[in-house]
């Protein structure tokens, strides 16, 4: 083996080691993010709060997360992603330790603020590490793999954490997840690096005016906006379900046992993890058809939710399982939005563009989580004993206006992106033309955007 080949092999192995630690950091992040989901009823009892107050915990967490996305993206460009991963894991660990020993509502609120802040710093930073260490053609699949491993964090929330809550109790359960976060902090310090050895670190220090100019330039590109709306439309249904309202909906609304509800939420996690690599492969092979995947996911969610909400009485278990599966596809589907940001922006403004993209899905999630809690309270479902299926039907119907806004944004920005491509001389063949040529024995080749300042879709 030549010295060059040996160096390449070491670099490849190093990339996978770095990826493994980054993925572990995201596992911890998702575990922290969803750690209140299956404990919602326990939290109401511990703090003596209503459904609206409980929903405000998750809303505040997501608001902090969303508000910090653009600053975190700018800091990634300035400080590098490794420092942000370390800071995020340490902050989440501190938040969970506060929650573990909290007995008053204000302490729980502080804990969720810390968790939201740490969560905000982690995912986009791990994505940047992945982008820096792997070749561009592999980035879509690697991004989905990050999401896949992150779903293990939800498994932790839905199974071991529930067992700890109903066994040793609240304090050991949340102190344990806090310790898990501090372990991820230590591993990130030891292993993570911004870029492979010998490669120039793209960190740049810019004046505030230039940072604002980069953000405006990213937002002006229709491909970036297509990513924003893709991330808005796909994940909020699953986020609201997995983060807070799925367990009460299944137990109090649909009459399932806690064990069956936990099994369905585990199915949610397995589906989100399993479909991620499939979606990543599709995006890598068909970058001009990414919006098809996004619109198909949104359409499937809307249809299945309609069937569940209109069903007379509690829905059959098979239908609820289908609902969980379809809702789960929104999580990996939302990652398509980051691929739009990546292909629409040069490296020096990628952090800000990624942060803006990430804001959208969580903004929609905040709206849904908050309004579900408010509507449950308005209908008299302020305690676990008074949750009703009818109240949940009204509350979850709020998803449809959010989907409508997202789909409209996708269609408008997609048309603008196609117009920009046409001005650059890139013509994307229509699907019927491709199919006609294939039936005739020919092949129509759709050009794939090669520059970071051009994005294609059809």
Model pLDDT for residues 68-124, shown as the tens digit of each residue: 888 888 888 778 889 999 999 999 999 999 998 988 888 888 998 999 899 988 988
Q: Which residues of the chain have pLDDT under 70?
A: 1-12, 37-38, 40-41, 51-52, 158, 201-209, 381-386, 426-458
Q: What is the reported pLDDT for 448?
A: 44
CA atoms within 13 A on the CB side of 183: 11
Query: Tokens standing for 32?
Result: 């922290």
Query: Tokens standing for 194?
Result: 């911004």
Rounded distance between C-alpha atoms, residue 426 and residue 396, angstroms: 42
Find the farthest-apart pair of alpha carbons in the chain and give their distance in angstroms, rounded.
73
Which letter does DSSP use for residue 241 in this model?
I
Residue bearing tokens 């009703």: 388
Query: Tokens standing for 127?
Result: 């994505």
Rounded distance between C-alpha atoms, residue 406 and residue 71, angstroms: 24
Instruction: Measure CA 241 to chain center.
Output: 13
Helical (H) or strand (E) element with 54 = helix 51-79
Q: What is the reported pLDDT for 447?
A: 44
- What's the CA dihedral at 279, 282, 286, 287 to 10 degrees? 30
Q: What is the reported pLDDT for 437?
A: 59
Q: Give the residue from 346, 428, 343, 444 showing the smallest Cα distance to 137.
A: 343
Q: Give the residue from 237, 210, 201, 35 showing the smallest Cα distance to 118.
A: 35
Residue bearing tokens 């750690």: 35
Rounded distance between C-alpha atoms, residue 435 and residue 443, angstroms: 9
Q: Give the residue from 341, 280, 333 showing the smallest Cα distance to 69.
A: 341
Rounded distance between C-alpha atoms, residue 190 and residue 21, angstroms: 10
Rounded distance between C-alpha atoms, residue 136 and residue 299, angstroms: 30
Query: Tokens standing for 39?
Result: 């404990």
Task: Please check whether residue 59 is in contact with residue 107, taking contact to mean a CB–CB distance below 8 angstroms.
Answer: no
Dump the DSSP string for 354-417.
Answer: HHHHHHHHHHHHHHHHHHHHHHHHHTT--SGGG--HHHHHHHHTTHHHHHHHHHHHHHHHHHHH
Q: What is the reported pLDDT for 445?
A: 44
CA atoms within 13 A on the CB side of 136: 11
Predicted TM-score (pTM) of this structure:
0.73
Integer-rounded Cα Rg, in Å, for the chain is 22
Domains annotated for the chain, with CATH where assigned, are 3-193+217-427 (1.20.1250.20)
Rounded distance between C-alpha atoms, residue 376 and residue 361, angstroms: 23
Cβ neighbours of residue 177 under 8 Å, at least 6 residues apart?
31, 32, 35, 96, 156, 161
Task: Please check whether residue 39 is in contact with residue 163, taking contact to mean a CB–CB distance below 8 angstroms.
Answer: no
Rounded distance between C-alpha atoms, residue 246 and residue 324, angstroms: 9
Q: What is the reported pLDDT for 2?
A: 62
């Amino acid at each position: 083996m030549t010295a060059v080949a040996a160096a390449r092999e070491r670099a490849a192995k190093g990339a996978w080691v770095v990826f493994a630690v980054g993925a572990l950091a995201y596992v911890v992040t998702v575990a922290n993010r969803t750690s209140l989901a299956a404990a919602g009823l326990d939290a109401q009892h511990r703090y003596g709060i209503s459904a609206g107050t409980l929903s405000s915990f998750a809303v505040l967490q997501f608001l902090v997360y969303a508000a910090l996305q653009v600053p975190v993206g700018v800091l990634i460009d300035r400080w590098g992603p490794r420092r942000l991963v370390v800071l995020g894991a340490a902050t989440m660990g501190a938040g969970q330790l506060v929650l573990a020993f909290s007995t008053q509502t204000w302490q729980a609120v502080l804990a969720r603020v810390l968790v939201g802040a740490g969560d905000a710093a982690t995912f986009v930073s791990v994505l940047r590490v992945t982008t820096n260490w792997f070749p561009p053609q592999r980035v879509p699949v690697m991004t989905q793999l990050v999401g896949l491993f992150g779903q293990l964090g939800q498994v932790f929330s839905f199974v071991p954490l529930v067992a700890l809550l109903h066994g040793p109790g609240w304090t050991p359960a949340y102190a344990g997840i806090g310790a898990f976060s501090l372990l991820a902090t230590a591993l990130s310090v030891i292993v993570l690096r911004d870029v492979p050895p010998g490669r120039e670190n793209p960190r740049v220090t810019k004046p505030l005016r230039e940072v604002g100019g980069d953000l405006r330039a990213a937002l002006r590109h229709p491909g970036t906006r297509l990513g924003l709306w893709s991330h808005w439309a796909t994940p909020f249904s699953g986020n609201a379900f997995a983060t807070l309202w799925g367990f009460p909906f299944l137990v109090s609304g649909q009459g399932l046992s806690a064990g069956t509800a936990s099994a369905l939420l585990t199915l949610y996690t397995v589906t989100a993890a399993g479909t991620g690599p499939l979606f990543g492969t599709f995006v890598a092979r068909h970058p001009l058809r990414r919006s098809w995947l996004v619109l198909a996911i949104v359409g499937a969610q809307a249809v299945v939710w309609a069937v569940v909400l209109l069903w007379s009485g509690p829905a059959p278990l098979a239908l609820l399982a289908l609902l969980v599966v379809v809702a789960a596809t929104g999580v990996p589907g939302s990652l398509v939005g980051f691929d739009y940001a990546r292909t629409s922006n040069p490296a020096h403004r990628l952090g800000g563009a990624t942060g803006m993209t990430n804001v959208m899905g969580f903004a929609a999630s905040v709206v849904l989580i908050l309004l579900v809690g408010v509507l449950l309270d308005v209908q008299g479902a302020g305690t676990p004993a008074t949750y009703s299926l009818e109240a949940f039907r009204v509350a979850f119907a709020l998803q449809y206006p959010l989907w409508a806004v997202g789909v409209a944004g996708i269609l408008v920005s997609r048309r603008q992106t196609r117009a920009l491509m046409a001005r650059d001389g890139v013509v994307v063949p229509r699907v019927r033309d491709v199919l006609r040529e294939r039936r005739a024995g020919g092949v129509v080749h759709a050009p794939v955007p090669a520059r970071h300042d051009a994005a294609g879709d059809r």
